Amino acid sequence: MKLATAEQMKELDRQAIEERGIPSIDLMERAGAAVAEAAASLPAGKGRRRAAVLCGTGNNGGDGICAARHLFLKGTEVRVYLVGDYEKMTPDAREQTRRLSECGVALVPFDPEDEEQRRWILCADVCVDALFGVGLSRRIDPSSHWGRAVALMNDSRGAVVAADIASGVDATTGECLGEPARAVKTITFTLPKAGQFVGKGALCSGAVEVRDIGIPAQLVRETVCSIQTVERDFVRQALPGRQADGHKGTFGKVLVVGGAVGYTGAPYLTALAAVRSGCGLVSLGVPEIIWPVEAAKCVSAMPFPLPDKDGMLSDKALQKILDKLADCQVLALGPGLGRSQRTGRLVRELLSQTDKPVVLDADGINALAGHIDVLNGRRGRVTILTPHDGEFARIYDGPEELGRAEEARTFARAHGCVLVRKGHRTLTALPEGNVLVNTTGNSGLAKGGSGDVLTGVIASLLAQGATPVQAAAGGVWLHGRAGELAAERETEYGVTPADVARTIPAAIREILG
C-alpha cells in the first residue's frame, strides 16, 4: 500500500482542481460526508448522540464543518467550534459554514475558558478533530487555543475521529509536533499518509481508513510513493517455493556465528528460527567454552566449537569461520557475540573477506561504530543490517531529526545496504531509496531475543532464494505475525522469543493458505 507525503497530497489536490477542473468544494463535501459517516458509526451513550467538532481555519477545518452538517442531518446533536480567526478561513471553509448555518447550526469561536464549551467537549460521545490537516509544519504550543483544544479532545470521554490526519502529526515523518490528538479512527482521503504508519504518528492515528473523495484514479495510480507498507501478497511472493524432489541442500545453508559466556540464548534462537522458517541446513559456530550448552539445546541445527578467549570468540576463529562459510549461502553474524576489540576486529575481517550475503545483527552492528568504511567496502555485495534504535544511533552518520524513515533511507542509500530498523512499525530501507513499513507485531516482541529470531528468519529466506528485499521485509512481516499468533496463546505478557520462533510455521501456513 502506497503511503503519500504531505507534498504529494497537495500536488494531487492541485492537479485535480486546476488541471482536471474538479471543484474543490465537491472534494470537501465528500471528505466531510466520509468523516461524518465514521463518527456516526461509533457507539454512543443513551439518548441523542452528542458530537463536538473542532475546526481550524483551513480546508481541513472546512472538512470538519461539512462533517458537522452531515452529522446534524443524521440526527446527532452537534456543536461546532472554530479554533482561530474567522477572517483567515479559506473560501471553501466559509462556504461550508454558510451551508451549516442554513441548517440552524452556528459555528462558535472556541474559548477554552468557557465552562459550557469545556463540558460539551468533555462529555461528547464523539469528537471530530479537524484542526490542521496534512499541512501542519510547526509545533503546537500547549498553552495556545490549538493546544488546549487538542488536550480537551484527548480528555473527552468520547472517541476522537480525525479528519485526514490527527492534529499534531507530521503527515510525512510521523513526528509529533507537540501533544497530538489521540484518534481512535482516522478517516484519511485518497491515499494513506506516511506519518500515519511511522514514528509516533502511528500510535495516535488509530484505525486508518482511506476514503475516495473524487481525485481521479489515474492521478492516484501515477503517484510514485517511495514508502509503502508490506502486504500479504508481497510476503506470499517472498516465500521461496518448495521442490517436491528437493533435499536439505536444495533449501539453503545458513551459518550462524555468535555467542559468548552469558549470551548462549541468542545464537540458539537465531538457529532455531532459521530452521523453523524452512532452511535446509543450519550450522552454528560458537566459542568453544559454550559449545556444550549449545550442543545440548540444538536438535535440528548443528553447533560446532570455535577458538575462544575470555569467553568470546578469538582472532583464531576467523579462518575456521571462512572455511565453514565456503559451503554455505548466507552468514548470520552477531547474535550474542559480545563486545570487545577482538570481536570487533573479527566482524570487520569477516565482512571484508567474504563475498557471501551477510545478515548483521546486535554486536555485529556495534563493531561498525567508527568503522563504517568496512560497510562501504561491501557495496555491491548483499549486506542486511538489523539494528534497533540504540544500535542504529551508534552507526548513523547522516543528518539528524529527519524522522525514522528518512534516516533509514539516508543510511541505506549512503552505504549500499539493506537496513532493517527495528521497533514499532519496523522499517526496511533499500539502497535504491525505497522504504517498506511493517504493520505486524505487538508488545510481546519487546523482549530480549526477539531480534535474534528475526535474524534467523531473514537469513533463512535469503539462503532459500528470496531476494534481499523479500528476505528482509518478508521476514519482518512473518516475524511480527508469528508474534501475534503466539500471543493469542500466551498473551503479550507471557510470549517468549522461543514461542515466536516455534510459531513461524503457523504464520507461513496462514500466508500459503
CA dihedral (503, 508, 511, 513) positive or negative: negative
CA 221 vs CA 1, 217, 504: distances in Å: 11, 6, 34
Strand partners, 82: 55, 109
For residue 44, what pLDDT is reported? 82
Chain position carrying cell 549500499:
416
Supply the DSSP symbol for 445: G
**235 dihedral zone (left: phi>0; alpha: psi -120 to 50; beta):** alpha
For residue 513, what pLDDT is reported? 84
Q: What's the alpha-carbon Rg for the chain, to the nearest Å?
A: 26
**Is 379:415 a contact under the CB 8 Å cutoff?**
yes
What's the helix, strand, coil split of the chain in %, to 5? 45, 15, 35
CA 310 vs CA 114, 260, 304: distances in Å: 69, 9, 18
For residue 400, what pLDDT is reported? 81
pTM of the prediction? 0.94
Q: What is the dihedral of CA 52, 58, 63, 66, to 10 degrees?
A: 70
If the chain, 513 residues long, is cut into consecutive pieces of 10 residues, what is the mean pLDDT of each piece? 96 97 98 98 85 98 98 97 96 98 97 97 98 92 97 97 98 95 98 96 97 97 97 94 87 97 97 98 98 94 97 97 98 97 97 98 97 97 97 92 92 98 97 97 97 98 98 98 98 98 98 91
DSSP-H helix ranges across 299-403 = 317-325, 341-353, 363-366, 372-376, 389-395
How far apart CA 277 and CA 508 sit, in angstroms, is 8
For residue 416, what pLDDT is reported? 97
Strands 185-189 and 207-211: parallel
How far apart CA 415 and CA 109 sit, in angstroms, is 53
Q: What is the largest CA-CA distance in the chain?
A: 84
Chain position carrying cell 517472498:
238
